[in-house]
């Protein structure tokens, strides 16, 4: 369940937005002032903050930056408040939500914040390979042992983590997720462990980190293999001792948290290379669950495609349409290098592009298979790049990946292997030079 903090009065259109978010499974908290919002972010925390432009969005963002709080902020207000919207986005707001709110935009906003498409938790599974994973998940869900979830990018590791939490004895407690690859070291440390007042310049009050926010529930450490070795040592102590040391703190704070960790890296190889602590690896690897790639669970391709077709038709206010036999054959024959995430994007595009009473193969746009050097009959992929400037190749790769992801910045950054911040800086540079950059459908996540 996404945690949404609303900054502004719940009367009128903002209250409508809150009720729409609740209907999508979000937990709602509300604050009337910027100081109250900052106080909430220091304590229970949030996955997303929705701030009315009638309040000082810039002050909220400056306060969050000073206190090293990483929470996306979406400004909102009447459509005619264009000047305020522009000012909010320039100050660092992720996007602007027009009021009165649109249910589809609320859904997309929550999906971008949580990585999930609504309140559903259970993974779609028909293939024996995936059914075996879910059976193992059912076995370990009610225990408190740490679980290491491995698998390629896009296989649905966070979906499985949420499924385990929902089936656990901690289901009534919070589920808190943190992407360890998305934040620089100093910010990640504060996000994980919190800080005391005066711990650093800008720390004007005590703030709880993700461990304390997840107390009584589950903490997912996504992309844990990207964590700096110094923080790995501090994480190991927190798991071993069940207590955390806030930055600038004088005494440890007890926490009751179940740890789930996810990675697309080979952590055994990372341990051998000296990039990941062996003792931390064994603490996380009490139970290991490997999510099969989509090409290894082919019986799930069409059920997943039908599931996504229904979801995106509903989200975009379109009639539900069946996949034609030819479209189904096209989807079943593809190898899906981007796994479930690629399938989701492909079906989303198909739902938007399809005409007529069903989704035909002409609406299914897939990533072409990479030809072998022999089959190419000429230059290989690398040789074809010779003579081009590095920044031009990088630009085309980034723009192409954004198009493939329907403008979703988080997913594009994951595919490209760069941080969200680096991607946003590139996008700003491209836009400044007059280049058109794909926007996310319904919800731009710049």
DSSP 8-state code for residue 195: B
Is the confidence at residue 1, as pLDDT, over 70? no
Specify the CATH superfamily of domain 381-432.
Homeodomain-like (1.10.10.60)
So what's the pLDDT on residue 213? 93
- Name the 3-class secondary structure at 370: coil
What SS3 class is residue 380? coil
Q: Which residues contact 331 (CB under 8 A, 6 or more apart)?
A: 301, 302, 305, 323, 343, 346, 347, 364
Task: Please say whether the beta carbons of 294 and 343 come within 8 A.
Answer: yes
What superfamily does domain 128-292 belong to in CATH?
Answer: P-loop containing nucleotide triphosphate hydrolases (3.40.50.300)
Q: What is the pLDDT of residues 345-371, one digit of tens each?
A: 899 899 999 988 999 999 998 876 554
Residue 11: predicted pLDDT: 82
Confidence band of 427 (pLDDT split at 50, 70, 90): confident
Q: What is the pLDDT of residues 255-297, one digit of tens each?
A: 999 999 999 999 999 999 999 999 999 999 999 999 999 999 9
User: CB of 112 within 8 A of CB of 443?
Assistant: yes
Pairing of strands 258-263, 218-222: parallel
Tell how strand 95-99 and strand 73-78 pair up: parallel
Q: What pLDDT, in 10s, does the model give residues 143-163?
A: 999 999 999 988 999 999 999
CA distance 396 to 446: 18
Find the helix or strand (DSSP H, E) in which 334 lies: none
| 6 phi/psi in degrees, rounded to 5 | -105, 120
Nearest CA-CA partner of 296 in 419, 77, 127: 127
Mind listing the pLDDT tens digit for each residue in 164-221? 999 999 999 999 999 898 788 878 998 999 999 998 888 888 999 999 999 999 999 9
- Determine contact, residues 90/46, Cβ cutoff 8 Å: no
| 8 A C-beta contact, residue 286 and residue 145 | yes
Rounded CA separation 33/9 (Å): 9
pLDDT over 90 percentage in the chain: 49
The structural domains of the chain, with segments of one domain joined by +, span: 3-114, 128-292, 297-363, 381-432
**pLDDT classification of 34: cutoffs 50, 70, 90:** very high
Q: Which two tokens stand for residue 367?
A: 């990533």
Instruction: Record the tokens describing residue 6, joined without a space.
Output: 């609303």
> What's the pTM value of the predicted model, to 2 decimals?
0.70
How many residues belong to the chain?
446
What confidence score (pLDDT) does residue 336 get? 93
Quick check: 249 pLDDT over 80? yes
At 114, the pLDDT band (50, 70, 90 cuts) reads low
Query: Which H/E stretch holds residue 441?
Result: none
405 contacts 420 by C-beta, under 8 angstroms: no
Same fold, 3-114 and 297-363: no
At 378 the pLDDT is 43
Nearest Cα neighbor of 192 from 224, 166, 165, 160 is 224
Phi-psi region of 243 (alpha: psi -120 to 50; beta: other; left: phi over 0): beta
297-363: CATH number: 1.10.8.60
Structure confidence by residue, pLDDT tens digits, 363-410:
998 876 554 433 444 444 455 566 667 777 788 888 888 877 667 777
- pLDDT (0 to 100) of residue 62: 92
The mean pLDDT value of the chain amounts to: 85
Q: Please write the tens of the pLDDT for every residue from 331-350.
A: 999 999 889 989 998 998 99
Name the CATH architecture for the domain at 3-114: 3-Layer(aba) Sandwich (3.40)
């Amino acid at each position: 369940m996404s945690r949404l903090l609303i900054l502004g009065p719940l009367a009128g259109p903002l209250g409508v937005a809150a009720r729409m978010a609740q209907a999508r499974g979000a937990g709602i908290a509300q604050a009337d002032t910027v100081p109250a919002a900052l106080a909430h972010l220091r304590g229970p925390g949030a996955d997303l903050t929705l701030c009315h432009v009638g309040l000082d969005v810039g002050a909220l963002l400056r306060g969050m930056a000073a206190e090293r709080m990483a929470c996306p902020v979406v400004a909102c207000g009447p459509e005619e408040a264009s000047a305020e919207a522009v000012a909010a986005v320039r100050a660092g707001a992720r996007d602007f939500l027009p009021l009165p709110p649109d249910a589809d935009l609320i859904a997309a906003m929550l999906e971008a914040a949580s990585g999930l498409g609504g309140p559903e938790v259970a993974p779609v599974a028909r293939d024996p390979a995936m059914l075996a994973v879910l059976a193992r998940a059912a076995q370990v869900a009610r225990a408190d042992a740490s679980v290491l979830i491995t698998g390629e990018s896009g296989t649905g590791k966070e979906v499985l983590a949420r499924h385990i939490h929902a089936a656990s004895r901690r289901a009534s407690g919070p589920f808190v997720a943190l992407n360890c690859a998305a934040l620089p070291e100093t910010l990640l440390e504060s996000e994980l462990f919190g800080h005391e007042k005066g711990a650093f310049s800008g720390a004007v009050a005590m703030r709880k980190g993700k461990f304390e926010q997840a107390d009584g529930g589950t903490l997912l450490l996504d992309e844990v293999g990207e964590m700096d070795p110094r923080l790995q040592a501090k994480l190991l102590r927190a798991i071993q001792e069940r207590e955390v040391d806030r930055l600038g703190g004088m005494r440890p704070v007890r926490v009751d948290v179940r740890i789930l960790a996810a990675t697309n890296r080979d952590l055994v190889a990372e341990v051998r290379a000296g990039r990941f602590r062996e003792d931390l690896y064994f603490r996380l690897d009490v139970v290991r669950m490997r999510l099969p790639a989509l090409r290894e669970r082919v019986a799930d391709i069409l059920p997943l495609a039908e599931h996504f077709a229904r979801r995106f038709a509903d989200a975009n206010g379109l009639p539900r349409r069946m996949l034609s036999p030819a479209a189904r054959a096209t989807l079943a024959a593809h190898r899906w290098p981007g796994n479930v995430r690629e399938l989701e994007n492909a079906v989303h595009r198909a739902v938007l592009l399809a005409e007529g009473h069903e989704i035909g193969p002409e609406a299914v746009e897939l990533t072409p298979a990479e030809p072998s050097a022999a089959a190419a009959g000429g230059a290989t992929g690398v040789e074809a790049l010779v003579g081009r400037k590095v920044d031009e190749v990088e630009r085309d790769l980034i723009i192409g990946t954004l198009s493939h992801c329907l403008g979703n910045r988080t997913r594009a950054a994951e595919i490209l292997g760069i941080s969200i911040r680096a991607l946003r800086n590139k996008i700003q540079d491209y836009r400044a030079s007059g280049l058109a950059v794909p926007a996310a459908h319904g919800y731009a996540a710049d």
